[in-house]
Chains A and B, each alone.
Chain A
């Protein structure tokens, strides 16, 4: 008979989104020696603190600073994963991810399939997404839809500190490559985090119930949607906010369920119109609820420009609370 060690009870603490990512890596590394972190400046936890102080606990073999070599680092992560390790590759800003995407898309996402199931690549990639504020067009972009279009890749889109913790713990049990798309506006936002639990699956959550319309969104979009919903409630328009923990795999069932209940849907993203996540989510809504909708699915995303530097222009690019509220009123008015 084997006696399992007593399980530590979950610990609850208030922490930031970045601290939650760090806590999740720490908790997972403590129980799984195959986890190795790779990235630029990760020993110092620079720039967002998502790996802060981990080197002190786990050492430089497992918290491994890399040169500025995104392609080789990503490939090295894939090679580690092929050999049975669980690497976490950090790419701090979205623009730098492209240098590693040949490795991630051509090798990481395809090796299991191309090998007829022989090769597994349990790789986790962390990458910042969206605007941080006046970092210019190369540091400010979204790639969730691009990545979610790649068969074999999972793309996680946490919206809160608790989501970030759950996303990382889930990713570190996955059998295939996972990208955690970290909305950079969220790194400093705080929330209560229950540590110690590893979710079996990531499910979409109704984070505010309502009966007039649904806002389907993810990442920082959830913050924007909740603010818009609060202001709409003052006008007696009750909007449901559905938070997606991942774009791939997509929780199509939860999307259809909410859409069928509220009969009107706004897909809120930070992508430009037509070929981004908005279009993708709208197709999921239509597939699951076309016969129950009272209005066409509406999409609201960014303006189709490279992100400008100066704050007064940059603030016009991504959807505001006001724009979301206006879009909901348009949706309700259209179908009244």
Chain B
């Protein structure tokens, strides 16, 4: 059996402002991560950094289909999810730079950035481990009748963690308002998905649990959004689902590792870059070159401002070290 990508009517941007709205968010993620990557090289960002450049259509497409009161759980490559969910880029960059004004007060960093006020429940770094939290969060929505959904993002690398399947089972069994979103960017660090994942793919695995499981072009923000809209409506009605988004990261896994040459070829990378999600949208929606340039400049300014804000924010006071271990 092969997985059939769902083929809805070719999705289109509803209006020019709608297309610009989606483009603006993707451009912000792109520019923000470019700045963050350089800031790492310059020593402003510590530890490590995982950027999602090339995958922006997944973050924006999924989250644009949600309500503000819906929630998101994310993973180690989560800046895109945070920004799409409305997290202030200044405070997110400050978190990456370990500053007091960071969303997690400098305690979490890129891999544990959290902004509950925006329904961004956090990036968590153990691969697959945020998934059951989304199930529990969704169960609480069901029990209290809010009508909100919770989205769990994870990568193809999480597709072979047992807890994913335990979580899918609970979601299906209890008819929970949860959407699993697998960002299949083809590689778990250096390991190709085909070298780690047997069978017919992740969407097919979801269908085995009685979930709606669909495969979508993760470079096409309109397709991702339309799919998520349908999934969210179903999830609110007690029919959870999984969206597998085919995508590609244009950079290495984390800081300093090459984007090609070791485990993937330049030709393969170039082929995916021809389907840059920002260009795919601009073309599909007929955004003018002038409009694109404006939106890019706006994003570039916002990213630069974010780094300036982060640099001007103080380091956390040493007295905060022992705060928030317990209430």
Report A's interface with B, CB cutoff 8 A: 36, 61, 66-67, 69, 71-85, 87, 102-103, 106-107, 111-120, 151-152, 154, 175-176
Question: Is A72 touching B170 in the complex (CB atoms < 8 A)?
Answer: yes
Which residues of chain A have C-beta atoms less than 8 A from B105's C-beta? 116-117
- The answer to whether B228 has its CB under 8 Å from any CB of chain A is no
B283-327 to A contact mask, C-beta < 8 Å, 1/0? 000000000000000000000000000000000000000011111
The segment from B45-53, B159-167, B193-201 that touches chain A is: B159-167
Question: Is B136 touching A151 in the complex (CB atoms < 8 A)?
Answer: no
Measured CA separation A106–B140 after assembly (Å) = 21
Question: Is B140 touching A83 in the complex (CB atoms < 8 A)?
Answer: yes
Q: Which residue of B lies closest to A79 (CB)?
A: B136
Which residues of chain A have C-beta atoms less than 8 A from B124's C-beta? 106-107
Which residues of chain A have C-beta atoms less than 8 A from B218's C-beta? none
- The answer to whether B108 has its CB under 8 Å from any CB of chain A is yes
Given contacts A75-B129, A106-B126, contact A115 B139 (CB under 8 A): no
Given contacts A75-B131, A103-B132, contact A118 B115 (CB under 8 A): yes
Which residues of chain A have C-beta atoms less than 8 A from B114's C-beta? 111, 114-116, 118-119
Which residues of chain B have C-beta atoms less than 8 A from A80's C-beta? 136-137, 139-140
Measured CA separation A80–B138 after assembly (Å) = 8
Would you give the shortest CB distance from A61 to chain B, in whole angstroms? 6
Measured CA separation A107–B107 after assembly (Å) = 14
Would you give the shortest CB distance from B81 to chain A, in whole angstroms? 15
Would you give the shortest CB distance from A249 to chain B, in whole angstroms? 8
Question: Is B325 touching A151 in the complex (CB atoms < 8 A)?
Answer: yes
Measured CA separation A102–B131 after assembly (Å) = 13
Question: Is A72 touching B167 in the complex (CB atoms < 8 A)?
Answer: yes
Q: Which residue of B lies closest to A116 (CB)?
A: B105
Question: Is B129 touching A103 in the complex (CB atoms < 8 A)?
Answer: yes
Measured CA separation A77–B133 after assembly (Å) = 8
Known A76-B132, A116-B105, A175-B327; further 4 A-B contacts with Cβ < 8 A: A71-B162, A73-B170, A85-B143, A107-B126
Question: Is A79 touching B140 in the complex (CB atoms < 8 A)?
Answer: yes
Question: Is A78 touching B325 in the complex (CB atoms < 8 A)?
Answer: no
Q: Which residue of A lies closest to B176 (CB)?
A: A76
One of B115, B122, B132, B324 near A75 (C-beta < 8 A):
B132
Measured CA separation A79–B166 after assembly (Å) = 14
Question: Is A82 touching B108 in the complex (CB atoms < 8 A)?
Answer: no
Question: Is B140 touching A114 in the complex (CB atoms < 8 A)?
Answer: no
Which residues of chain A have C-beta atoms less than 8 A from B117's C-beta? 118
Q: Which residue of A lies closest to B150 (CB)?
A: A79
- The answer to whether B112 has its CB under 8 Å from any CB of chain A is yes
A-B contact pairs, 21 of them (CB 8 A): A71-B163, A75-B129, A76-B135, A79-B136, A79-B139, A79-B140, A80-B137, A80-B139, A83-B136, A83-B144, A103-B132, A103-B163, A106-B124, A112-B324, A113-B107, A115-B122, A115-B324, A116-B102, A116-B107, A118-B104, A119-B122
Q: Which residue of A lies closest to B116 (CB)?
A: A118
Which residues of chain B have C-beta atoms less than 8 A from A76's C-beta? 132-133, 135-136, 139, 167, 170
Question: Is A114 touching B169 in the complex (CB atoms < 8 A)?
Answer: no
Would you give the shortest CB distance from B263 to chain A, in whole angstroms? 27
Given contacts A78-B136, A85-B140, A113-B324, contact A72 B121 (CB under 8 A): no
Which residues of chain B have C-beta atoms less than 8 A from A78's C-beta? 132-133, 136
Question: Is A75 touching B133 in the complex (CB atoms < 8 A)?
Answer: yes
Interface residues of B in 113-155 (CB under 8 A from A): 114-117, 121-122, 124, 126, 129-141, 143-144, 150
One of B102, B173, B324 near A67 (C-beta < 8 A):
B173
One of A73, A83, A102 near B141 (C-beta < 8 A):
A83
Question: Is A82 touching B129 in the complex (CB atoms < 8 A)?
Answer: no
Question: Is B121 touching A119 in the complex (CB atoms < 8 A)?
Answer: yes
Would you give the shortest CB distance from B323 to chain A, in whole angstroms? 7
One of A61, A107, A119, A120 near B129 (C-beta < 8 A):
A107
Which residues of chain A have C-beta atoms less than 8 A from B132's C-beta? 71-76, 78-79, 103
- The answer to whether B242 has its CB under 8 Å from any CB of chain A is no
- The answer to whether B243 has its CB under 8 Å from any CB of chain A is no
Chain A to chain B: the 7 pairs with minimum beta-carbon distance, closest first:
A79-B136, A75-B132, A116-B105, A83-B140, A72-B166, A175-B327, A76-B136
Q: Which residue of A lies closest to B122 (CB)?
A: A115
Question: Is A111 touching B169 in the complex (CB atoms < 8 A)?
Answer: no
Measured CA separation A165–B68 after assembly (Å) = 41
- The answer to whether B103 has its CB under 8 Å from any CB of chain A is yes
Q: Which residue of A lies closest to B125 (CB)?
A: A106
Given contacts A67-B169, A103-B129, contact A77 B108 (CB under 8 A): no
Measured CA separation A52–B289 after assembly (Å) = 69
Question: Is B169 touching A72 in the complex (CB atoms < 8 A)?
Answer: yes
Measured CA separation A153–B53 after assembly (Å) = 37
Which residues of chain A have C-beta atoms less than 8 A from B107's C-beta? 113-116
Question: Is A116 touching B169 in the complex (CB atoms < 8 A)?
Answer: no
Which residues of chain B have C-beta atoms less than 8 A from A69's C-beta? 166, 169-170
Which residues of chain B have C-beta atoms less than 8 A from A119's C-beta? 114, 116, 121-122
One of A67, A84, A85, A116 near B104 (C-beta < 8 A):
A116
Q: Which residue of A lies closest to B140 (CB)?
A: A83
Measured CA separation A202–B120 after assembly (Å) = 35
Which residues of chain B have C-beta atoms less than 8 A from A61's C-beta? 143
B165-199 to A contact mask, C-beta < 8 Å, 1/0? 01101100100000000000000000000000000
Would you give the shortest CB distance from A53 to chain B, in whole angstroms? 21
Measured CA separation A111–B129 after assembly (Å) = 12
Q: Which residue of B lies closest to A83 (CB)?
A: B140
Which residues of chain A have C-beta atoms less than 8 A from B133's C-beta? 75-76, 78-79, 82, 107
Question: Is A152 touching B136 in the complex (CB atoms < 8 A)?
Answer: no
Measured CA separation A106–B132 after assembly (Å) = 13
Q: Which residue of A lies closest to B95 (CB)?
A: A116
Given contacts A67-B170, A102-B129, contact A87 B112 (CB under 8 A): no
Question: Is B169 touching A79 in the complex (CB atoms < 8 A)?
Answer: no
One of A111, A120, A154 near B122 (C-beta < 8 A):
A111
- The answer to whether B213 has its CB under 8 Å from any CB of chain A is no
